């Protein structure tokens, strides 16, 4: 019990924003929960998905996207704020931050998890539509840039440091067929985060990337769970997929005081599948 209390208190009084956190089976949801367990008040954002598009397991339990995540957070004894945000819009991101400050008075942590849906981009480059490529880059890379920029401005003005954690991928370490758009976005996020970490270090703001491998989330549902899924698992030395909670646990650590000397890193969480730095 004492260990749980210590974990809870690490972020006591802090305020976090997690983008792309509306799915029931997702890294964003798991991250929002772990940050809340650690004591943070959490702003949870999503795209305002049409409930008709929800996967069957969400429909079965009456899942209500970001509102369900916030309800879960509040049950942990902290505050939550659900916001629909398009991370490619400067105005919407600024409104997100303004609402965060209005509601909670500060911003300590931002986790940039939003990404374009898996699917239409997973084709050979010669068949990849420009509009699909642009959407992957806009949501994943441009969205991360805009959120980082505006969050950094707020954190610098506050003068008490902060944590920026960008979700990249092992696809940012190694190129793969039919993944060119996603590879491009994630390689760029890793480099961008390294540069930003050096720019913000003097303000006691750390910037790191978390790079998951194959993770059991709703995002991967279009791949199915058949032969292709099984073949992918065979490439993982540990012999299984990761879980959203395992990724969130690392994010929680990077958000806390024990990670104060870690910045500019792109940390793999992939069961040994990819070991490139």
Residue 155 in tokens? 């954190």
112 - beta bridge partners? 166
> Any idea what the Cα angle at residue 119 is, between residues 118 and 122, rounded to 5°?
105
3-state secondary structure of 234: helix
179 backbone dihedrals φ, ψ, rounded to 5°? -135, 20
- Whose tokens are 């924003």? That residue is 17
Nearest to 108 by CA among 32, 244, 11, 221: 11
What dihedral do alpha carbons 72, 77, 78, 79 form, nearest 10°?
A: 70
Task: Give me the catalytic one of 118, 182, 203, 261.
Answer: 182
Helix 143-158 vs helix 180-200: crossing angle, to nearest 10: 10
Active site residue 182: yes
Active site residues: 182
């Amino acid at each position: 019990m004492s260990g749980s209390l210590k974990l809870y208190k690490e972020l006591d009084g802090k305020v976090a924003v997690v983008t792309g956190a509306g799915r029931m089976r997702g890294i964003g949801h798991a991250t929002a929960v772990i940050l809340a367990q650690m004591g943070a008040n959490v702003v949870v954002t999503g795209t305002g998905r049409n409930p008709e598009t929800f996967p069957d397991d969400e429909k079965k339990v009456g899942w209500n996207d970001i509102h369900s995540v916030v309800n879960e957070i509040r049950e942990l004894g902290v505050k939550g704020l659900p916001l629909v945000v398009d991370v490619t819009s400067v105005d919407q991101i600024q409104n997100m931050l303004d609402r965060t400050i209005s509601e909670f008075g500060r911003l300590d942590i931002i986790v940039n998890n939003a990404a374009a849906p898996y699917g239409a981009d997973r084709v050979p480059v010669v068949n990849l539509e420009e509009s699909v490529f642009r959407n992957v880059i806009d949501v994943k890379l441009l969205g991360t840039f805009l959120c980082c920029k505006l969050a950094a401005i707020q954190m610098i003005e506050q003068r008490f440091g902060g944590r920026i954690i960008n979700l990249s991928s092992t696809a940012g370490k190694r190129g793969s067929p039919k993944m060119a758009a996603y590879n491009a976005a994630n390689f760029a996020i890793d480099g961008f985060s390294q540069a930003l970490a050096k720019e913000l270090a003097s303000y006691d703001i750390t910037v790191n990337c978390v790079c998951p491998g194959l993770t059991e989330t709703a995002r991967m549902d279009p791949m199915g769970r058949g032969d292709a899924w099984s073949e992918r698992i065979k490439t993982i030395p540990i012999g299984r997929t990761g879980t959203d909670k395992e990724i969130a646990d690392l994010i929680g650590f990077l958000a806390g005081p024990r990670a104060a000397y870690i910045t500019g890193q792109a940390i793999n969480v992939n069961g040994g599948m990819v070991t490139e730095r």
